Amino acid sequence: MKRNGETKRRRNVAEEAEQGGEDPAMWENLDRNFRQVQSVLDRNRSLIQQVNDNHQSKMADNMSKNVALIQELNGNISKVVSMYSDINTNFSSAFHGGNNRHDGGGGGTGTRAN
């Protein structure tokens, strides 16, 4: 759910980029990619809380659940690293006259968030 201030900020960023001769689609894509990263980070926060709760309970069943939770957390960390790498590549390409891969294509960040 978007808040009014967040929507207004995005609109202002796009308008400023357009007025400055910049590509507003690139900025919108960058914003979308960072929101995808944030979604994975939020999931990680939840996983860490679940692992802590299970550990504090000291119940064998809960402790065994931590194995799967920690595996998911580990996979998500790798996913975030890859997503940031893709964001860096796309951003650098856009500003260095590359192929302007700001469409999230090529297996980039557009398909990674769950």
pLDDT for the residue numbered 11: 56
Q: Kindly state whether residue 64 falls inside one of the protein's structural domains.
A: yes
Cα separation, 28 vs 23, in Å, equals 9
In a domain, 59, yes or no: yes
- Give the pLDDT score at 43: 98
Q: At a CB cut-off of 8 Å and minimum separation 6, what does 26 contact?
A: 17, 94, 100, 102
The whole-model pTM stands at 0.66
Burial code (b: 16+ CB inside 10 Å, e: under 16) for 50-75 equals: bbeebeeeeeeebeeebeebeeebee
> How many domains is the chain built from?
1
- Give the range of the structural domain holding residue 18, as residue numbers without chain letter: 5-98
Structural domain includes residue 103: no
**Average pLDDT, 10 consecutive residues per value, the chain (114 residues):** 55 55 81 96 98 96 96 98 94 70 46 44
